[in-house]
Amino acid sequence: MEIFHLVESYEFFIEYARDKKLVRVEIFESLGKRGLFRTRAWIQNTYNLYPTFVNMGAHGDDLRQVHSSDQLNMEITTLVAETPDWITGVHMSDKESFLTRIQQRVVEFFPA
């Protein structure tokens, strides 16, 4: 069983759907095997939520009066992973090379 520890966390913005989106990337390295890295990545998105019962009138009509806009982080690791090894562990020369490749994949998956 391979044990990984968090080496670095990075945040950067990308242009997506005429908006700037915050992307967070965490890079982990194996405690037993130098150069074995894995990653997790998230993109921040705004969701408008309408609670069901608060927005219902006396006759069951939809009032849509109460809502909330929440910033939520959606995990995108499996979407941007080049191979399943990015999730379980891939050999790279250094974490900077791995980060550069992850950034490229995020931009490819979420084009401006």
Over residues 74-92, the pLDDT tens digits come to: 999 999 999 999 999 999 9
Query: How much of the chain, in percent, has pLDDT values that exceed 70?
Result: 85
How many structural domains compose the chain?
A: 1
CA angle 101/106/108 to nearest 5° reads 95
**Which tokens belong to 73?**
């982080």
Q: 74: domain range?
A: 4-109
In 3D space, the residue among 35, 38, 36, 68 whose CA is nearest the CA of residue 51 turns out to be 68
**What's the pTM?**
0.77
Three-state SS for 38? strand
Q: What distance in Å separates the CA atoms of residue 65 and residue 62, rounded to the nearest whole number?
A: 9
Listed in order, strand segments (DSSP E) in the chain are 4-16, 19-30, 36-49, 68-75, 90-91
pLDDT at 41 over 70: yes
Which position has the higher pLDDT, 19 or 100? 100
